[in-house]
Amino acid sequence: MALSHLIKASTEELETLNVSLQHSEQRFKSLFEQNPNLVYSVDNYGKITSVNPALKSLLGYTSEEVMSKHSLQFVASEDAEMTRDKFYQTFQGVAQTYDAHLVDKSGAKVLFTITNIPIIVNGEIIGAYGIGKSNMNQLQAEEKIAHLAYYDVLTELPNRLLFENLLNESLNNTDDKLAVMFIDLDRFKLINDSLGHQQGDHILKQVTNRIKEAIQDDAVLARFGGDEFTVLLPGLKDEKEALMLAKRVMDQLKAPIVYQNVEYFMTVGIGISIFPHDGLDLDTLMRNSYIALDRAKQQGASYIEFYTDEMTDKAFERLELESYLRRAIEKDELTLYYQPQVNLDEQKIYACEALIRWNHPKLGLVSPAEFIPLAEETGLIEEIGIWVLNEACIQTRKWQELGYDDLSISVNVSGRQFQSANFVETVRRALTTSGLSAESLHLEVTESTTLVNTDYSITMLNELRGMGIKVSIDDFGTGYSSLSYLKDFPLDILKIDQSFIRNLQENNADAAIVKAVITMCEGLNLSIVAEGIETKEQGEIIRSFGCNFAQGFFYSKPLNRDRFEKLLLSKQFPLAT
């Protein structure tokens, strides 16, 4: 009787063990076959004994084409010795992780991060498992973002950074004359306002091609920003050469630009400064050529002006504007507008950006683009920045007390303000005075602002984030766009500049760049906000790319305090409809 019980118990234990083994085998098989990474095993001689289906999609081979072949046969020659050494270390019982190029079926080299793990059975090493993760998507994303550092996306021309580098290099390596030109399209804003930015960009591309035809290889053409271009003409023998080049540009634009069967007549203003007569350094030459451009624009369409010392009108205007600006805060002429930032998944406002406006009784509504640079230059930006920060925090706390507990506020920080030694204390005081929590405050800085002094900036950002404040990089893609910048700086949020959103279609270059940025940010654990969403399609596309936060006219224009509060109460989405 006891024997039969023993046999029955043993049988049941064997059946349970068998089921457990089957489950383990199924789990291992699922992990092996469904893994998107390359998974394989080799024996002690390095011959491949198993490989998962990902081999086909990653390298193009079928399992039959690689089984029983030596694994080093599929390693690029320059990495073969290193890979052999890594296998040797693995067979000594030490797992190894390394980067190596594998050769796909077409002969192309593909970079993988490979981890080798020894296979140990009964205390003996009988081979090794390998797991290979392709780095190609990451590398392609990095290459696309790195391209942003020096070239304009829309026109493929050198951008401002590259132009200034080239100009500095020319100034350091020659005593010959050279010319710096600013070219500005006349009334291009009217085209953007009437047709929209997408159509405006198509016309801008055609204008760019015309200017390139005029300049050819004689000079360096760059897109400085918006509808402004810069030209560097080195090796100048006579100022007439610069004048002739400027006239060629104007001649190329005499024929109308045709877009969608409509003719557009484009004219430009051109300002020119000459080294060494008009300046010995980059800043002086650029400033003086821009002053000359401003004089040309005052004359009307299609004017060329060389800089002269008598061009003081703009300086007087700026002095007058500075005088008014110094009294703007005490006269209560400054106000804040608020533009919603929306969560696309939850379809609601989660934050807003505070945007300053100046309504002067004589000058009317003065553009921030006009008075903010002046405030930076004169030092008034610190006083204005403190006012904006305090006002934004106080108002946001009031909205939170009305029931919008999760509402956050984004405040732009100028370069001079950020570099101020008292900046962190100013922020801390604004939070204390308003009662706003640090977690509800987002501070937006630009790439160029933080790169003035990287060590100081990193210390400053760490201190702000240590308080609970979120740090956002504004207008990403318009500055240095350095990969090391994103990796090294303590950041929370990246705002993709609207210039990449404007022409967003699923298969165009802008879409590829936006995808690359999102891919990079996912790896760096950064949140993404897409700026400048103007259409439903743009919102849907960026959401399909994995970006769930957006801002733009499609949802709402910047609103004054009362209108924004009404918008919060309405809870409609999209907000602008």
What angle do helix axes 380-401 and 561-570 make, rounded to 10 degrees?
A: 30
| pLDDT value of position 480 | 47
How do 334-343 and 48-51 pair as beta strands? unpaired
What is the C-alpha end-to-end distance of the chain, expressed in Å?
Answer: 84
Q: In this structure, is residue 93 part of a structural domain?
A: yes
Q: What is the CATH number of the domain that holds 172?
A: 3.30.70.270
- Note whether 115 and 64 are same-domain residues: yes
Region of residue 559 (left: phi > 0; alpha: psi -120 to 50; beta: else)? beta
Q: Write the DSSP symbol of residue 481.
A: -
Domain count, the chain: 3
- Note whether 168 and 130 are same-domain residues: no
| pLDDT value of position 504 | 75
- Note whether 220 and 347 are same-domain residues: no
Contact 47, 128 (CB under 8 A): no
- Note whether 113 and 193 are same-domain residues: no
| pLDDT value of position 6 | 47
Distance, CA of 159 to CA of 229 (rounded, Å): 9
Q: Is the peptide bond before 361 cis (omega within 30 degrees of 0)?
A: no
- Note whether 366 and 301 are same-domain residues: no
**Which DSSP string do the residues of 297-339 spell out, in sequence order?**
HHH-SS-EEE--TT--HHHHHHHHHHHHHHTTTTTT-EEEEEE
- Note whether 398 and 468 are same-domain residues: yes
Rounded to 5°, the CA angle 174-180-182 comes to 165
How do 527-530 and 493-496 pair as beta strands? parallel
Token digits for 209? 């091609």
Contact 389, 426 (CB under 8 A): yes
Return the closest-CA partner of residue 105 out of 135, 61, 71, 39.
Answer: 61
| pLDDT value of position 320 | 81
Q: In this structure, is residue 330 part of a structural domain?
A: no
- Note whether 305 and 434 are same-domain residues: no
Q: Write the DSSP symbol of residue 71.
A: G
Distance, CA of 459 to CA of 249 (rounded, Å): 48
Contact 304, 513 (CB under 8 A): no
| pLDDT value of position 421 | 79
Distance, CA of 82 to CA of 577 (rounded, Å): 61
pLDDT per residue, tens digit, the chain (577 aa), is 555 554 555 555 555 655 555 555 566 566 678 888 999 999 999 999 999 998 888 899 998 999 999 999 999 999 999 999 999 999 999 999 999 999 999 999 988 999 999 998 888 999 999 999 888 777 777 777 777 888 998 999 999 999 999 999 999 887 789 999 999 998 787 677 657 778 889 999 999 999 999 998 879 999 998 899 999 999 888 889 999 999 999 999 988 888 888 778 888 999 999 999 999 999 999 999 998 998 888 777 789 999 988 775 665 777 788 888 888 888 889 999 999 999 999 999 999 999 999 998 888 888 888 888 788 767 788 899 999 999 999 999 999 999 899 999 999 998 778 878 789 999 999 999 999 999 999 999 987 677 656 777 888 999 999 999 999 988 676 554 455 567 778 899 999 888 888 877 666 777 888 888 888 888 888 899 999 999 888 999 999 999 999 999 999 999 999 999 999 888 777 665 4
Q: In this structure, is residue 139 part of a structural domain?
A: no
**Structural domain harbouring 304:** 153-311
- Note whether 305 and 348 are same-domain residues: no
Contacts of 576 (CB under 8 A, 6+ apart): 553, 554, 555, 556, 557
Distance, CA of 562 to CA of 551 (rounded, Å): 19
Q: In this structure, is residue 3 part of a structural domain?
A: no
Contact 553, 534 (CB under 8 A): yes
Return the closest-CA partner of residue 392 out of 422, 349, 436, 359.
Answer: 436
Token digits for 110? 């593909």
What angle do helix axes 160-173 and 282-299 make, rounded to 10 degrees?
A: 120
